[in-house]
Amino acid sequence: MKTRSVIVSLTVLCLSAPVLADDDCDDPVTDWQPREHLRQKLEAEGWTVYRIKVDDGCYEVKGLAPEGFGAEASFAPATLELMELEREDDDEDEEDDEDEDNGEYGYRDNRGDGQARDKAQTNRPVPHNGIVKGRPTVTVE
Amino acid sequence: MKKILLALGLALSVALPALAQAREVTFTTELTDYRGDGAYLALYLTDASGAYQGTLWVAGRKSKYYKHLRGWARGSRLDPAEYDGLTGASITSGRTLKITLDLDDALIDSGYEVRVDTAVEDMRDNRADVAVPLTTGGAGTPVPGRGYVRSFRYDF
């Protein structure tokens, strides 16, 4: 009786695993192009590629987008189609259950004028840690 | 007469804090071309013995990574009250972060030190990548970091 229930449980678990895995890409592995093809494609488009890894069935790329901002992007391994692009400083759009920081404001990254200013400086809360007076001014060059 | 002196004393005790001078300070942190993800940075003050005194700025908005800024994380205990209103995005390799803020004069030339902890995902963490005394004489002098910071300076 115990053995049967264990077998049944394991079977159910194995069958349910693909459903629970929630892969972002589902290209059959036999159709995948080599990572080097993706690197060449992106570099030809103007990317600086730091690294490519496999994540949830997709190729996940970290690097500098042609526009100059840091980015993390997912590509379908077979078609090399862009699935998702996340800017390095676009954290507020990412769902993160562990992130307890709400109401953050981020930078608008370099737009070619050599400088980026925190677009929401006036909306940032006034610090009250007893060290910093008033709101800091922040730029990234 | 006693009442007048008492009133005067009370008035002074209220007014004196308002007379404390603050100074505008600009901290400039230039990163090396380390070829990795955006760096998390914590700029903070310590006393002469290295004990945490307060947060100046945190670059990087995912608080789950703040533990990698080890010196700052230990001192601030990652209490949001320490860095509320003092956070922004992480800084990309090769970029320069400039922060201008007002600090009490009492913090300058008083044995306080500015420290910068840095961390990059999948790369090393650097406690005290930069550690420099906060002094009038030190203003304008660039110093190299030990990790991702190519150069750090502060100006009044």
A33: amino acid identity, one letter:
Q
Confidence tier at A99 by pLDDT (50, 70, 90): very low
> Which position has the token pair 């990059």?
B120
Average pLDDT of B101-112?
Answer: 94
Tell me the CATH architecture of domain A22-88. Roll (3.10)
CA distance B113 to B130: 10
Query: Which domains, and CATH codes, for chain B?
Result: 21-155 (2.60.40)
- Is the model's pLDDT at B89 over the cut of 60? yes
Locate the domains of chain A by residue range. 22-88, 101-141
Question: Using CA of residue B9, residue B13, residue B18, residue B23, what is the dihedral sign?
Answer: positive
A94: amino acid identity, one letter:
E
pLDDT at residue A128, as a whole number? 83
Closest among B33, B147, B144 to B95, alpha carbons compared: B33
pLDDT at residue A1, as a whole number? 58
Beta-carbon contacts below 8 Å between A and B: 118
A127 in reach of chain B (CB within 8 A): yes
pLDDT at residue A11, as a whole number? 57
Between B102 and A102, name the one with better pLDDT.
B102
> Which position has the token pair 């049967």?
A4
Between B124 and B113, name the one with better pLDDT.
B113
- Shortest distance, CA A42 to any CA of chain B (angstroms): 17
Between A126 and B144, name the one with better pLDDT.
B144
Closest residue to A98, CB basis, from B64, B84, B92: B64
Per the DSSP assignment, residues forming a β-bridge with B88 are B59
Q: Name chain B contacts of A133, Cβ cutoff 8 Å.
A: 22, 101-104
- Percentage of chain A beyond pLDDT 70 is 59
